[in-house]
Amino acid sequence: MTDPRHGGIAILDFGSQYTQLIARRIREQGVYAEVFPYDADPAVVNHHEPKGYILSGGPSSIYDDDAPQLPPFVLACGQPVLGICYGMQALAHALGGVVAPARAREYGPAQITTTGDSPLFHDLPQTLAVWMSHGDRVEQPPAGWTTLAATANSPYAAMGQLERGLYGVQFHPEVAHTPQGEQILRNFLFGVCGCSANWSPASFIEDAVTRIREQVGGERVLLALSGGVDSAVAGALIHHAIGEQLVSVFVNTGLLRLGEPEQVVSVFRGGQGMNLIAVDATETFLDGLRGVTEPEAKRKIIGRLFIDTFAEEARKLENVRFLAQGTIYPDVIESAKSSKQAKVIKSHHNVGGLPDDLQFELVEPLRDLFKDEVRKVGAALGLPDSIVWRQPFPGPGLAVRCLGELTWERLETLRAADAIFLEELDAAGLLRNSTSQCFAVLLPVRSVGVMGDNRTYEEVIALRAVTTDDFMTADWARLPYDLLAKVSNRIVSEVKGVNRVVYDISSKPPATIEWE
């Protein structure tokens, strides 16, 4: 079969916070898109024979000493190019145009007026609402280029060299604040580049199965199955490809949500027929975490214990050559960024830290997919909605939602409150469509309350619900008051040891989504 990744779009990243969003918007049109650092090896960028290039925005000024410049191969390839914001400036500068600080910087909503016909703005109104974010602007386009759109502050809000298929836009078509941005990208993909819409869950599965079989052959593969979406879909996909050659290990840390350990075994061993080894290591983890309250210390202990437990099970197996991981595309993009730009917000356990006597070759079948694509592939593979649409869950589990000391009793309290919250959100139809991540947090705080005629002094549950497109930023969900009241009443009435419920109305940033 034809690789569905061929003939797509290569995106060169100049440092924009929206780069991943560009790729997602293109994938939503059924066209494969891949992100590369602007200085990536041309052979790597062109491996899948892209039909066009998109240059992302970025925070630099083109005349800064260390400003990233347009790689020469992009123009030498002769394929269409779309420069966005800084990408437009880099394109103009490389071809002899003039870029300079704008007299009035544009950040936020603006209106552009298109001038004449062009493939980029085909079938769009003459006046468009767009989202601007720039300090510099093109003062003089390269020779042979024409103005395609302008604003009051930017005479070249869009420009192009139509014969060569070269375009630049000063605004961001990939963000929701540019309402017709999707159509602009569609025009570039299909009208300018001549791409085909052949990127779909079905085409991905067919291609991935072939690649897994080619890589693995007759060898065995080991997978750490957490029950989360990524490892679940990776497991289902690999099992679909090689059947009993896959051995999955599920470690119950005692830090999962209500009913999850039983559900994982039921779905994957019973429903999917996978070769699943289930290990109950609850006592090991609780013993190791006794008295520990510092968040990073919790994470490190959980990571070490997880690796130790997984390694112990791996040593019992024979003739295992490959280790499968549910790595997804945002992980790949982030790992490709330079270390000087990376900042560690929190650590997670990862089976990549296995001891030296357990060295495997990696199988990462989902490394080309965004989270929403992972869910679509999971649904196409027949996984139940309870797995495919499972709420995001941190690697350390409830340990970072149970603030303070971890005990079995406090974890059970948190599990019960969390289950009530998710149950009521689901019943109200808000769990999948109106929220992105929802959970309860048990605080190491006691407050005075009254139940019946008695004074109580019990712990506090905080509820957290957010909406987000990319999890890089998030806003608190405006849940109905009546729903919050019902959840609060149920938790206080049904969960022993809790007499107060609060709702977190912090956005990210400045807060993070998780509390620890």
Which residue has tokens 């602009």?
184
Structure tokens belonging to residue 249: 């290990």
Average pLDDT over residues 120-124: 94
What's the Rg (C-alpha) of the chain? 26
Decide if pLDDT at 74 tops 70. yes
**Average per-residue pLDDT for the chain:** 90
d(CA 205, CA 373): 11
d(CA 251, CA 498): 29
> Which of 34, 85, 106, 195 is labelled catalytic?
85
Rounded to a whole number, what is the distance in angstroms from the first to the last CA of the chain?
A: 46
Give the start-end residues of each E strand in 124-173.
127-140, 146-150, 158-161, 166-169
Q: How confident is the model at residue 343 (pLDDT cuts 50, 70, 90)?
A: very low
> Pairing mode, if any, of strands 33-37 and 498-503?
unpaired
pLDDT at residue 336, as a whole number:
65
Decide if pLDDT at 250 tops 50. yes
Chain center to CA of 271:
28
Q: How confident is the model at residue 434 (pLDDT cuts 50, 70, 90)?
A: confident
pLDDT at residue 344, as a whole number:
36
> Which of 93, 106, 134, 172 is labelled catalytic?
172
- CB proximity list for 397: less than 8 A, separation 6 or greater: 253, 255, 256, 257, 302
pLDDT at residue 339, as a whole number:
32
Is 172 catalytic? The answer is yes
Structure tokens belonging to residue 324: 């499968």
Decide if pLDDT at 171 tops 80. yes
pLDDT at residue 338, as a whole number:
39
Is 348 catalytic? The answer is no
Name the least confident of 64-73, 155-164, 465-474.
Answer: 465-474
Q: Do 389 and 376 touch, CB atoms closer than 8 A?
A: no
Q: How confident is the model at residue 60 (pLDDT cuts 50, 70, 90)?
A: confident
Q: What is the largest CA-CA distance in the chain?
A: 84
Query: pLDDT (tens digit, 9 = 90+) per residue, 445-501?
Result: 998 887 766 778 899 999 999 998 767 788 999 999 999 999 999 999 999 999 999
Q: The whole model's pTM is what? A: 0.84
Average pLDDT over residues 202-229: 93
Q: Do 166 and 120 touch, CB atoms closer than 8 A?
A: no
pLDDT at residue 1, as a whole number:
57
Which residue has tokens 């959980």?
302
pLDDT at residue 348, as a whole number:
38
Decide if pLDDT at 349 tops 70. no
d(CA 116, CA 128): 14
> Which of 106, 174, 458, 516 is labelled catalytic?
174
Decide if pLDDT at 514 tops 80. yes
Percent of the chain with pLDDT over 70: 94
Helix (H) and strand (E) counts in the chain: 15, 18
Higher pLDDT pick, 136 / 319: 319
Crossing angle (nearest 10°) for helices 371-380 and 201-216: 80
Average pLDDT over residues 296-305: 94
Is 240 catalytic? The answer is no
The kind and range of the H/E element at 447 are strand 437-451
The kind and range of the H/E element at 114 are strand 98-114
3-state secondary structure of 350: coil
Q: Do 131 and 112 touch, CB atoms closer than 8 A?
A: no
The kind and range of the H/E element at 292 are none
> Pairing mode, if any, of strands 98-114 and 127-140?
antiparallel
Q: How confident is the model at residue 383 (pLDDT cuts 50, 70, 90)?
A: very high
Decide if pLDDT at 106 tops 70. no
The kind and range of the H/E element at 155 are none
